């Protein structure tokens, strides 16, 4: 079965840039979405179709996807961005989520 691999944790200082990777075989051929989940809350989509940002999501969130790796980038990270982030893709008619990355803003 298809797998997406994320680092368990990423740390960043306020105002700096955080990059969260998501790796999978030929992932660049698929559409990748990213979700943010804060404790006790439902997930929120922050990036879809690799690079698109839904309305209401700050411009500091961006995405890319090429080869075997998709990347979620948070530029000028703020304390409110501390959360778990999940990448997601479809493989045939099944959905795959990465295991999630905890972003810590130190």
Residues of this chain that bind another protein (CB under 8 A): 1, 31, 33, 35, 37, 42-45, 48-49, 54, 84, 86, 88, 90, 93-100
Minimal distance, residue 4 CB to another protein, in Å = 10
Minimal distance, residue 105 CB to another protein, in Å = 20
Minimal distance, residue 23 CB to another protein, in Å = 16
Q: How many other β-carbons are positioned within 10 Å of the β-carbon of residue 56?
A: 7
* Residue pointed to by tokens 């295991």: 99
> Would you say 16 or 28 has its CB closer to another protein?
28
> Would you say 77 or 101 has its CB closer to another protein?
101
Report d(CA 68, CA 54) in Å as an integer: 24
Cβ neighbourhood burial of 95 (10 Å; 0-12, 13-18, 19+): exposed
Beta bridge partners of 74: 18, 61
> Would you say 60 or 102 has its CB closer to another protein?
102
């Amino acid at each position: 079965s298809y797998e997406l691999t994320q680092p368990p944790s990423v740390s960043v200082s306020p105002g700096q840039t955080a990059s969260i990777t998501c790796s999978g075989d030929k992932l660049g051929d698929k559409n990748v979405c990213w979700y943010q989940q804060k404790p006790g809350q439902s997930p929120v989509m922050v990036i879809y179709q690799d690079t698109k940002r839904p309305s209401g999501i700050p411009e500091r969130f961006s995405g890319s996807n090429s080869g075997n790796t998709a990347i979620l980038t948070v530029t000028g990270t703020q304390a409110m961005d501390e959360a778990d982030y999940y990448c997601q893709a479809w493989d045939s008619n099944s959905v795959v989520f990465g295991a999630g990355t905890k972003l810590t803003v130190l």
